[in-house]
Amino acid sequence: MANLNRRAFTLIELLVVIAIIAILAAILFPVFAQAKGAAKKTACLSNAKQYILANMQYHADYDDMAPPSQTVGSYDANPTNPDQAVGNVVMPYMKNFDILRSPADPAGDSERDADLINPASVSYGKAQHQLNLALKANYGYNVEYFSVMCYDPSAPNAFRAVPQSMGSPAQPASTIYAINSVWDRTSSGSPRGGGNWALDMPCRRYTDGSDSLPASPTGSRWWFGGWNPSNPNAWNVFGGVWPWHTSGQIANTVFADGHAKGLRTSAVSAGCDVQNAWAGQIFDADKYLWDLK
């Protein structure tokens, strides 16, 4: 006969096993989350590197000039006068719109189409969707130094982008070309909408009052309102820069010489006294990373 005198778990033993599993889970889940975050940061850095390499191929084909930030300023892909953002302009060198996304940004296609023209409502939907993806790229272009955005009444939509020579930076290895970005924030400060193709630098003038920006051919620039440190939940608290990585501490950055690395927001604004609405002053030009120097 079979021995039916088997010993079952006691309630205390069962509780001890559950407690051990809970402790192990509490230890391992943060490790898994950190590993996942590190993987996203690495994948984002790879995309950033592909982005700058595509731009550098464009420079080589266009007499060492930076690409335009935007072509006609309409945000409309209507084929009669289609607009393009920098991501569209360099797309022949990238071949893949996914390169414009950071894996750390959860925004999907529908969210990247939101606030812009709905591609489902127009016959040129694919072209509009691709323009929207470029406008909401997670790698924001340093437009105010590399492609000056100007108000020009004589141009279509009163807009003109004036690309600069890539030979202009005296220190290309320390001049930001593009950096992780955000489109908007919720009232609680959560990022929404994807990225932003164009960014504001943290400061505009040197301590002697001189302007750090390249000359504008029309004397009137387009800009987004500068950095907004007095409103920590604003989309442009960092001028549109957004630290997607390492628990909101690191923004992946590409430089004019082609290298890429992560920067803390404090490093992004190094060398200048950040204030609201472009009023900040550059006090250490050698540390300031946005100027063509």
The per-residue pLDDT string of the chain (293 residues; one tens digit each, 9 = 90 and over) reads 555 566 666 777 778 888 888 887 777 666 656 667 688 999 999 999 999 999 999 999 999 999 999 999 999 999 988 999 999 999 999 999 999 999 999 999 999 999 888 888 888 899 999 999 999 999 999 999 999 889 888 888 889 999 999 999 999 999 999 999 999 999 999 999 999 999 999 999 999 989 888 888 887 888 888 999 999 999 999 999 999 998 889 999 999 999 999 999 999 999 999 999 888 999 999 999 998 87
* 27: in domain: yes
| Pairwise CA distance, residues 233 & 242, whole Å | 12
The whole-number pLDDT of residue 157 equals 87
* 288: in domain: no
Residue type, 27: I
* 3: in domain: no
Of all residues in the chain, what percent are helix, strand and coil, respectively (each to 5)? 35, 15, 50
Rg value, the chain, Cα:
24
The whole-number pLDDT of residue 49 equals 96
Residue 133: domain span:
11-282
Helix (H) or strand (E) segment spanning residue 91: helix 91-94
| Pairwise CA distance, residues 50 & 38, whole Å | 18
Helix (H) or strand (E) segment spanning residue 139: strand 139-141
Number of domains making up the chain: 1
256 contacts 172 by C-beta, under 8 angstroms: yes
* 291: in domain: no
* 125: in domain: yes
| Pairwise CA distance, residues 222 & 218, whole Å | 11
The whole-number pLDDT of residue 198 equals 94
The whole-number pLDDT of residue 214 equals 87
The whole-number pLDDT of residue 29 equals 65
Helix (H) or strand (E) segment spanning residue 79: none
Question: 198: helix, coil or strand?
Answer: strand
The whole-number pLDDT of residue 119 equals 82
The whole-number pLDDT of residue 35 equals 61
